[in-house]
Structure 1
């Protein structure tokens, strides 16, 4: 069986910097998979001579190509779709399955979303420290937001993981959909006596949502999660598990 392609599916953004970050993340995943396979590391049960998997990006909104278009381009091999979303809402439960069905690809596995995950929380802690956060400073956990209760539950779980990482409470707030909004929570923390307030950005890449955080009145805003070796490993782990499932099904 041919090595499954990896399709990294993101939301999409009009921010050139955000698009570049998604591309850089996909390139980092491709480099790591190529290095591991080329070095003779076992790959889903395959030998060291296995073909290095193709890594492609797709977007469910704002820009293309769409997941169905990319899946049609790789219809000669099985494919693993990895949703690069930090919570599982409409895009994960509705858009991705619809795109997979529309492609009519014969062998596709879809992994669970990136988040919540301890690896994301660990990177967020690093981003907070780089922004100037110190123990004792208040933290607002800023997520894009969703009308899907399952996504909001994921955000609360992710906030709990960050709280464990920094050994301090964090307050959840939303940038777009949902209440309370980030500026409101920043103001509430200041009114309650917080000397310094920092925003932990639960966003994968730069874009309009992250830009809004800089006007929320905090003392510092952490960078989005972005590209980091821990995030690359997380995506590869998702891919390997699903690729192994595809191999098992095809072998049966």
Structure 2
């Protein structure tokens, strides 16, 4: 979990959060995309999450491209809220954009992003099994990339989890901000398959497809069909952790 300072909780906020408040709302915040298929896949994920926790209000927000933006979405929520980043690593969006958004509220926290997590390794392994690549081929993990130094151990940690899950080499490579690039990693590993470590179709998936060239390439975590149950469970677990943080703060 992020620290209380980052989540915007002050001593005054903790006093204000009383036992008679309702179950917190869940604000699921994704990056946003202009790709219609990607936007539909994320919207379906949010619907499936809402179906799993019918006693909590579930809302969607975005840090870029789509509306409502995260500050507007949170402002529209009355009562306590848990902001769950539908993002795969720490970075500017989680620490600054969402951190500041929650800091404007006395009754909101921001959870950890979705990754790294073994359940994401399970989904990535499922996507790899759907390709025609050799089962012993090395894997280049295509990561969006961030200049935030906290994002690097997250990407490397996810590569390590996937390597353990598969029992073969996994090399992280980046679509922006860091090196190696996808093209550089593939030159070093010419027989590799590219595992798309992105939530859904959009700009970065288009870049990944171009960089992958003739190499086998997986679909994103959300492929346009039913969201993987492991991904739904992961988001709900992040929400439950945020709910527990709010309850602990309320009891102080």
Aligned to 2:87: 85
Give CA-to-partner distance per residue, 1:197-247, whole Å, 9 cap, x none. Answer: 210011011101112222222431111112210011011111112112222
Give CA-to-partner distance per residue, 1:133-160, whole Å, 9 cap, x none. Answer: 3322121111011111110111000000
Aligned to 2:174: 174
Contact 1:198 1:218 in 2 (8 A): no
1:202 to 197, 204, 214: 197
Q: How does 1:48-197 map to 2 (within 5 A)?
A: 52-75=55-78, 77-101=79-103, 104-190=104-190, 194=191, 197=192
Distance 1:133 1:251 in 2: 53
What secondary structure sits across from 2:106 in the alignment? coil
Give CA-to-partner distance per residue, 1:23-47, whole Å, 9 cap, x none. Answer: 111101011112xxxxxxxxxxxxx
Q: What's the TM-score once normalised by structure 1's chain length?
A: 0.86
Q: Check if 1:217 corresponds to 2:213.
A: yes
Give CA-to-partner distance per residue, 1:156-181, whole Å, 9 cap, x none. Answer: 00000010111001111111221111
Aligned to 2:45: 25
Give CA-to-partner distance per residue, 1:72-127, whole Å, 9 cap, x none. Answer: 1112x2100001111101111111111223xx333112111110000001100000
Aligned to 2:10: none
Distance 1:14 1:6 in 2: 23
Contact 1:187 1:217 in 2 (8 A): no
Distance 1:143 1:8 in 2: 21
Superposed displacement of residue 132, structure 1: 2.2
Query: How well do the aligned residues superpose, as a CA RMSD in angstroms?
Result: 1.4
Contact 2:102 2:109 in 1 (8 A): no
Distance 1:201 1:70 in 2: 29
Kindly report structure 1 stretches of 4+ aligned residues shifted beyond 6 Å: none
Contact 1:88 1:113 in 2 (8 A): yes
What secondary structure sits across from 1:233 in the alignment? helix
Q: What's the TM-score once normalised by structure 2's chain length?
A: 0.86
Q: Where does structure 2 lack aligned partners over 5 or more consecutive residues?
A: 1-20
Superposed displacement of residue 251, structure 1: 4.3
Contact 2:140 2:182 in 1 (8 A): yes
